[in-house]
Amino acid sequence: MSLLAVENLEVRFDTADGEVCAVNDVSFSVEPGETLGIVGESGSGKSQVFFAVMGLLAANGRARGKVRFRDTDLLGMPVSQLNTIRGAHLSMIFQDPMTSLNPYLRVSKQMTEVLVQHQHKSEQDARRIAIELLERVQIPEAARRFDQYPHEFSGGMRQRVMIAMALLCQPDLLIADEPTTALDVTVQAQILDLLAQLRDTLNTAIILISHDFGVVAGLCERVAVMYAGRIVETAPVREIFYRPQHPYTRGLLQSLPRLDADDHQELPTIPGQPPNLQSLGEGCAFSERCPLVQPHCLTDRPLLRQIAEDHSKACHRDLAA
């Protein structure tokens, strides 16, 4: 049984200018211990999928479909029941470590309250476990810094604190939403190493959300590419890198800078902009920017179809490898 199975998920937002459909018909699953990467531009709906999973959608957002965590459906579950799962078996860390911690509370309190809440630990036990975890995520002098406030930590340290906090109850699945985007490049690498290490030692499944193929490639076993609220291609990471089958995936990969490229060669880009989610047409959302667009792409929306073992894409065209 999959650890997390998302089926036909749809997320809509009521806005002053009408309804916006941020996520459309998204299905995927994660097995225990697996590492899945979700790649897409900002606005592709990749974060909203997991806000829906965690019950963290903004007040004007609604989710439909099925989100099964083990054998319980998380959607439509009362908040009090959801609270026994999130933070305990299912954790999430966010893009901006600078603002994700509560600036008014000591790090110690923010960590121990999770253990007190979910595992009914005493304050002392909770402190001990929390300090151990901080050491594990390589916070120097963890015991001394434990009672400091978040603003006394650097950005990278705060993300480590966030990661430690998410792992307190040894969750089965950790969702990392752009965990390195706001950090310096050297710190990024450290955090990614840390995540890889934790996955290997704790056997926690990880979903890594990123706009950066490079980040995903280093950590994940499987990748799903999202565009305009839909998954357009999903495959094992090597397969995607060497045989991308969707024109969008191809565009993304081609725009990665390469060390072996000619110095004077201009970096290829994908022309155009992501579509307006309010006025998506009948056809393929990528058709406006697609170099291989054909007439029926504008009228027929391509569905996600399997093209090889463990490789699916949502495109009418068959690309030569």
Partner 1 sequence: MLAYAVRRLFGAIPTIFVIIAISFFMIRLAPGGPFSLERPLPANIMRNLEAIYHLDKPLMVQFWIYLQNLVQGNLGPSMVYRDLSVAEIIGSGLPVSIQFGGAAILLALVVGGVLGSYAALKQNQMSDYSVMAIAMVGITIPNFVMAPLLQLILGVELGWLPVGGWGEGAFRNKVLPVIALALPQVAVVARLTRGSMIEVLRTNPIRTARAKGLPERIVIGRHALRAALLPVVSYLGPAAAALLTGSVVIETIFGVPGVGRLFVQGALNRDYTLVMGTVILIACFIVIFNLLVDLIYGVLDPKVRYD
Partner 2 sequence: MTTVSQFEQTVPGGEIKGRSLWADAWARLRSNRAAVAGAIVLAIIGLASLFGPMLSPHDVGQVYRSYIKVPASTTAYPREAEIPDLLKTALRRSRADITSLDVDGDLVTLTLTAEREIDPRITRSVERNADFTNVQIIETSPDGLSLTMQMEVTRSYFLFGTDANGRDLLTRTLFGGRISLMIGLLATFVSLIIGVTYGATAGFIGGRVDSVMMRIVDVLYSIPFMFFVILLMVFFGRNIILMFVAVGAVEWLDMARIVRGQTLSIKRREFIEAAHACGVSTTAIIRRHIVPNTLGPVVVYMTLLVPKVILLESFLSFLGLGVQEPMTSWGVLISEGANNIVEAPWMLIFPATFLALTLFAFNFVGDGLRDALDPKDR
CA atoms within 13 A on the CB side of 223: 30
Site for partner 2 contains 281 (CB under 8 A):
no
Q: Which residues bind partner 1 (CB under 8 A)?
A: 54-56, 58-59, 79-80, 82-88, 91-92, 94, 96, 99-106, 113-114, 117-118, 149, 151, 162, 165
| Residues numbered 212-241 forming contacts with partner 2, rule: CB under 8 A | 212-215
Interface residue with partner 2 among 288, 307, 317, 319 (CB under 8 A) is 288
Cβ distance to partner 1 smaller for residue 88 or 277: 88
Residue 61, strand partner residues: 13
Interface residue with partner 2 among 77, 256, 280, 319 (CB under 8 A) is 256
Token match 């911690």: residue?
A: 101
Of 178, 93, 98, the C-alpha closest to 137 is: 93
Cβ distance to partner 2 smaller for residue 270 or 285: 270
The option from partner 2, partner 1, none interacting with 104 (CB < 5 to 8 A, set by class) reads partner 1
Interface residue with partner 2 among 252, 284, 285, 290 (CB under 8 A) is 252
Main-chain dihedrals φ then ψ at residue 119, nearest 5 degrees = -115, 5
CB of 78 to partner 2, least distance (A): 32
The option from partner 1, partner 2, none interacting with 94 (CB < 5 to 8 A, set by class) reads partner 1
Q: Rounded to whole angstroms, how far apart are CA atoms 46 and 211?
A: 9
Cβ distance to partner 1 smaller for residue 35 or 100: 100
CB of 214 to partner 2, least distance (A): 5
CA R_g for the chain: 21
Q: Rounded to whole angstroms, how far apart are CA atoms 113 and 123?
A: 8
**Burial classification of residue 241, based on how many CB atoms lie within 10 Å of its CB (0-12 exposed, 13-18 middle, 19 or more buried):** middle
Site for partner 2 contains 255 (CB under 8 A):
yes
CB of 221 to partner 2, least distance (A): 21
Conformation bin of residue 91: beta by default, left when phi > 0, alpha when psi is -120 to 50: beta
Site for partner 2 contains 274 (CB under 8 A):
yes
Q: Which residues of 219-236 are buried (b: 16+ CB within 10 A; e: fewer)?
A: bbebbbbbbbbbbbbbbe
Site for partner 2 contains 42 (CB under 8 A):
yes
Residue 278: how many CB atoms within 10 A of its CB?
12
Q: Rounded to whole angstroms, how far apart are CA atoms 200 and 179?
A: 18
CB of 271 to partner 2, least distance (A): 5
Cβ distance to partner 1 smaller for residue 162 or 187: 162
The option from partner 2, partner 1, none interacting with 291 (CB < 5 to 8 A, set by class) reads none
Site for partner 2 contains 39 (CB under 8 A):
yes
- Per the CB < 8 A criterion, the answer to whether 319 and 250 are in contact is yes
- Per the CB < 8 A criterion, the answer to whether 317 and 247 are in contact is yes
Residue 74: how many CB atoms within 10 A of its CB?
21
The option from partner 2, partner 1, none interacting with 162 (CB < 5 to 8 A, set by class) reads partner 1
Angle between helices 155-167 and 123-136 (to 10 degrees): 130
Cβ distance to partner 1 smaller for residue 95 or 234: 95
- Binding residues for partner 2 (CB under 8 A): 39-42, 185, 211-215, 251-252, 255-257, 267, 269-274, 276, 288
